[in-house]
Structure 1
Amino acid sequence: MNGWISVVGAVVVMVILRDVFHTLWHPTRRGGLSRIVIVALWRLSARTGPRRRAAGIVGPLGMACVMAMWACGVALGWAVIYWPHMPEGFVFSSALEPAEHSRPVDALYVSLVMVGTLGLGDIAPAESWLRVVAPLEALVGFALLTATVSWVLGVFPSLARRRTLALRICHLRRAALTDEELNSDAGAAVLDALAGDVARVSVDFAQYPESYYFHDGTSGSALAPNIGYVAELTDRTRNSRHPRTRIASAVLAAALDDLATVLDERFLRTRGERPRILAAYARDHGVEAPHTDERE
């Protein structure tokens, strides 16, 4: 029976590690538990209305909850592994009475000491297999800390790139470029730069899907209400007589299609065409749909 209890603990640890792997190191797949936590917070925030959602705590709060879930899950899983083998599988300091320190809370204490690499030494593994398993927990704890720090450091630059693109689109909108200005080498260069920026944002959404649930700030720095203007630019330059502008417009349209595909497959599930997906993206972020043709 004790062996089966330890197996349950090992299964808990493996489930958590699998979620960490698919969330941080295998971006073509989505983590199961982490996605459930963040999406649940996002949908809960939607019930408070778009304006309250604009407070923008869902993204950072969701990541904090996921990291806490990972740490607690690993610690609890290893505690379940240790508990059936206490006290005979461990050695205790002279100040402790083994029979009085073999409860589940003591197993959790040992697990937290191991995962935190504290090495207090008042309770230490004695059986040979435990002397191997316990240091493995310390290694997992160190790897988990490193991975979560890298996760945070990766997500926030992706947010900066997205907000930079939104500001760039706003600047172009305020500049009110004419068709004559767009149908030139300078206009083609603008469209080329936009295509590159849109492609980078598509990669960011695929690499860091949790960034979707972060607030972008005001409408001037948010991508959702502004991305429709990029689609408008492609419509205006699609049949340009200027060869470079026409090519740049086609590349930009392809980049927008890729962005819409990523948004739909990972977050929205509309199974519609690009205009419908971009409109759904805007609505999901509590803003008015971008000005695009809704016909599919």
Structure 2
Amino acid sequence: MTWLVTLLGAALVMAILRDMFHTIWHPTRHGGLSRLVMTGMWRLSSRLSARWRAAGLAGPLGMVCVVAVWALTVALGWAVVYWPHMPEGFSYSSGLVPAEHAGPDDALYVSLVTLATLGLGDIAPAAGWLRVVGPMEALVGFALLSATVAWILGIYPALARRRALALRLAHVRGGVTSQALDSQGGAALLNGLASAVSVITVDFLQYAESYYFYDGDENISLPRQILHAASLTEQAMNSHHPDVRLSATMLRRALDDLAAILDELFLHTGATTAGVFASYALAHGDRMGRP
């Protein structure tokens, strides 16, 4: 039974490490636990007041909750590893009575101290294999910190690219005429938009959690601006300029790819590209307290 409990703790730790790996470092997969927490926070936001939704806290708070769940579960897993081997597998400082400090709370204390690399030393592993396991937990703690930083440094630039594309579409919507679009400059504009949309598609694949962030002002909200890109494509497809038509074809394919990813990962509507974008706008509009 002792080793069964130890293996259970090791399984908890491995499950979190797997979730961290698939969330951050494996671009074609996404962690199940982190995705569950982010989705839960997003759905909860839809049930709260319009002011809370408009504050856009679902994404940031979701990330905080994910990191907290990772840290607490890892600490709990290592505590379960330690607990069956206390007190005989540990050394205690002179002021502590081993028999009085061998409970689950003490095991959790040792785990948290080791995970945080504090190294207080009042309770320390003494058995041979435990002396190896302790530094391994410290390495996991360092990996958790590194993973959190890498996650933040990945998601926020992705959000900036998404919002920059939305702002560019807002500028196009208000300043590009049909005559200007039917030109070499119009073809270059469409090519640039197609490239930017492809980058956003990859961002959603690598950082799916970025979907759960509110974009703020309408001009930097991709859910509210992406439909204009689709209408711009249809307009350009009727151009007399062959380069414009070719660029419009590339933009349409990029938009189709983006819609496919949004529908596969988040919306699950099975609709056309226009229908998926409409659902995308509606989903994020609900979070803004708008119909």
Whether TM-score is above 0.5 comes out as: yes
CA deviation after TM superposition for structure 1 residue 179, in Å = 2.2
Aligned position for 1:267: 266
Aligned position for 1:102: 102
**Contact map agreement 1:170 1:226 (CA 8 A) in 2:** yes
Aligned position for 2:244: 245
Aligned position for 1:163: 163
Letter in 1 for 2:218: S
**Contact map agreement 1:10 1:81 (CA 8 A) in 2:** yes
SS for the counterpart of 1:124 is strand
**Contact map agreement 1:224 1:287 (CA 8 A) in 2:** no
Aligned position for 1:185: 184
Letter in 1 for 2:6: S
How do 1:75-114 and structure 2 match up within 5 A? 75-114=75-114
**Contact map agreement 2:190 2:248 (CA 8 A) in 1:** yes
CA deviation after TM superposition for structure 1 residue 25, in Å = 1.1
Q: Choose 66-75 or 18-27, whichever is displaced more.
A: 18-27
**Contact map agreement 1:199 1:259 (CA 8 A) in 2:** yes
**Contact map agreement 1:206 1:262 (CA 8 A) in 2:** yes
For residues 8-60 of structure 1, the C-alpha deviation after alignment (integer angstroms, 9 at most, x for no partner) is 11111111111111111112112111111110111111123666422100000
**Contact map agreement 1:50 1:286 (CA 8 A) in 2:** no
Say what the alpha-carbon RMSD is for the aligned residues.
1.3
Letter in 2 for 1:136: M
Aligned position for 1:276: 275
Letter in 2 for 1:205: F
How do 1:208-227 and structure 2 match up within 5 A? 208-227=207-226
* Cα separation, 2, equivalents of 1:207 and 1:27: 5
* Cα separation, 2, equivalents of 1:63 and 1:128: 37
Letter in 1 for 2:279: A
CA deviation after TM superposition for structure 1 residue 148, in Å = 0.7
Q: Percent identity?
A: 59
SS for the counterpart of 1:198 is helix
* Cα separation, 1, equivalents of 2:52 and 2:79: 40
Q: For residues 50 and 259 of structure 1, do their structure 2 counterparts lie closer, same or farther at Cα, with a shift above 3 Å needed?
A: farther
Aligned position for 1:291: none
Q: Choose 95-104 or 47-56, whichever is displaced more.
A: 47-56
**Contact map agreement 2:46 2:286 (CA 8 A) in 1:** no
For residues 152-185 of structure 1, the C-alpha deviation after alignment (integer angstroms, 9 at most, x for no partner) is 011111111111111111111111x232211111
Aligned position for 1:70: 70
Letter in 2 for 1:283: L
**Contact map agreement 2:6 2:81 (CA 8 A) in 1:** yes
SS for the counterpart of 1:224 is helix
SS for the counterpart of 2:229 is helix
* Cα separation, 2, equivalents of 1:3 and 1:139: 23
Aligned position for 1:197: 196
**Greater relative contact order structure (CA < 8 Å, 6+ sep):** 2
**Contact map agreement 1:51 1:286 (CA 8 A) in 2:** no
Aligned position for 1:256: 255
SS for the counterpart of 2:196 is helix
Letter in 2 for 1:29: R
* Cα separation, 2, equivalents of 1:51 and 1:103: 45
* Cα separation, 2, equivalents of 1:10 and 1:31: 18
Aligned length: 287
Question: 5+ residue gaps in structure 1?
Answer: 289-296
* Cα separation, 1, equivalents of 2:172 and 2:51: 26
TM-score (norm 2): 0.96
* Cα separation, 2, equivalents of 1:129 and 1:88: 13
Letter in 1 for 2:251: L
Letter in 1 for 2:241: H
**Contact map agreement 2:187 2:243 (CA 8 A) in 1:** yes
Q: Which has the higher helix share?
A: 2
How do 1:19-168 and structure 2 match up within 5 A? 19-48=19-48, 52-168=52-168
**Contact map agreement 1:192 1:252 (CA 8 A) in 2:** yes
* Cα separation, 2, equivalents of 1:146 and 1:74: 15
* Cα separation, 2, equivalents of 1:95 and 1:241: 88
**Contact map agreement 1:6 1:84 (CA 8 A) in 2:** yes
Letter in 1 for 2:55: A
